[in-house]
A = this chain, B = another copy of it.
Amino acid sequence: MGTRSVRVREPSMNDVARHAGVSSQTVSRVANGLDNVGESTKERVLASMRELGYRPNSAARALRSGRFRDIGVAMFTLSSYGNMRMLDAITQAASELGYSLTLDLMREPTQRAVSGAVTRLLDQGVDGIVMMIEAELTDSAMAELPAGLPVVVNTSTARTDYPVVDGDQAAAGRLATEHLLDLGHRTVWHVPGPVSSYSAMRRRDAWAATLRAAGREVPEVLQGDWTAESGYRVGLSIAERDDITAIFASNDQMALGLMRALHEAGKDVPGDVSIVGCDDTTESASYWPPLTTVHQDFEEQGRQAVHAVVAEIENGPVTPARILAPVWLVERSSTGRPRA
């Protein structure tokens, strides 16, 4: 303990080979778990490895084999609940498949930032990339990707030449809206996420379509930007209106802000206004009141994304699939029938 001195040379395969009295080739075979090695030889090699504290040199291996067994993840802020959950699932899935994970965060939603992230990841030597981007810049940024690089994108885009994994945002918008309509509300108002977001756009479209299909009026949108703060501002702006009895917020944070504004204005949720969120963050069950929301299976999305890149890495280009993770409504206490 406490002897954290200068770094010494790590033992190499040659060292192990010499120690075990075999060729370095045999050591390599043992290290890679190949079966064309005699039982006793294998034992001997394993023993030497242990004794010497051998650790394979991934640089040498990668140099030789051209594979790093490393996948890169490029995404914007971790602070979004969905991103965080997906990253969690991605790390787990990657490690289960024997891949390590290199993370690169993009600071701004610009094409430059995306290219920068991809470049850094590529320079680093990743075998494939999972891109978690949801803005419009996707397409042009993706055009720069080197041909043949396995890539999986989180949010659907116009392009269709790489696998896409996403939640079923259309269903999310529909489920939330139908729930409110079923409760007897005349129509449903909507607080969408930023216009640059594909997910937000898809939820919004589904909300409007559901309303139209039911023959209801489609109110003007109450623009938000994903933050609770924006939900709060929206809430303040409509707190005095008695004609608004049902609101679908495109994420839980905005729903939270909305409820805070309503509380401050002395309105009751769900007595005066029913609120539905989206994502089902861990804490939404503890909001006041506990939030009715649409659950997204981010874990599933993360897992699918990794499986898709790894499949591409190991088996070459596949016909790009488009995977939609299911969503479902979680009914809690922020919704109810409108007052008679």
Within A43-64, the residues touching B (CB, 8 Å) are 53, 55-60, 62-63
| Interface check A34, CB cutoff 8 A | no
A324 to B227, CA, bound (A): 30
From B6, B68, B100, give the contact of A148 (CB < 8 A). Answer: B6
| Interface check A88, CB cutoff 8 A | yes
| Interface check A125, CB cutoff 8 A | yes
| Interface check A104, CB cutoff 8 A | yes
Contacts of A107 in B (CB 8 A): 92
Q: When the two chains form their complex, are residues B286 and A229 in contact, meaning their CB atoms are under 8 A apart?
A: yes
| Interface check A240, CB cutoff 8 A | no
Q: When the two chains form their complex, are residues A55 and B148 in contact, meaning their CB atoms are under 8 A apart?
A: no
User: Could you tell me how many residues of chain A have their Cβ less than 8 Å away from some Cβ of chain B?
Assistant: 70
Within A1-17, the residues touching B (CB, 8 Å) are 1-8
Q: B-facing mask of A62-74, CB < 8 A → 1, else 0?
A: 1100001010000
Q: When the two chains form their complex, are residues B149 and A4 in contact, meaning their CB atoms are under 8 A apart?
A: yes
Q: Select from chain B the residue with minimum beta-carbon distance to A7.
A: B148
Each complex incorporates copies of this chain amounting to: 2
Q: When the two chains form their complex, are residues B253 and A286 in contact, meaning their CB atoms are under 8 A apart?
A: yes
Contacts of A63 in B (CB 8 A): 57, 59-60, 63
Q: How far is the CB of A95 from chain B (nearest CB, A)?
A: 7
Contacts of A55 in B (CB 8 A): 122-123
Q: When the two chains form their complex, are residues A260 and B290 in contact, meaning their CB atoms are under 8 A apart?
A: yes
Q: How far is the CB of A203 from chain B (nearest CB, A)?
A: 20
| Interface check A314, CB cutoff 8 A | no
Q: When the two chains form their complex, are residues A161 and B123 in contact, meaning their CB atoms are under 8 A apart?
A: no
9 closest A-B pairs by CB: A228-B286, A59-B62, A7-B148, A59-B63, A2-B161, A58-B125, A91-B105, A100-B124, A78-B88
Give 12 new A-B contacts, CB below 8 A, not counting A53-B146, A59-B125. Answer: A4-B149, A8-B147, A58-B125, A59-B59, A78-B78, A78-B85, A78-B91, A79-B84, A79-B88, A92-B107, A102-B102, A287-B288
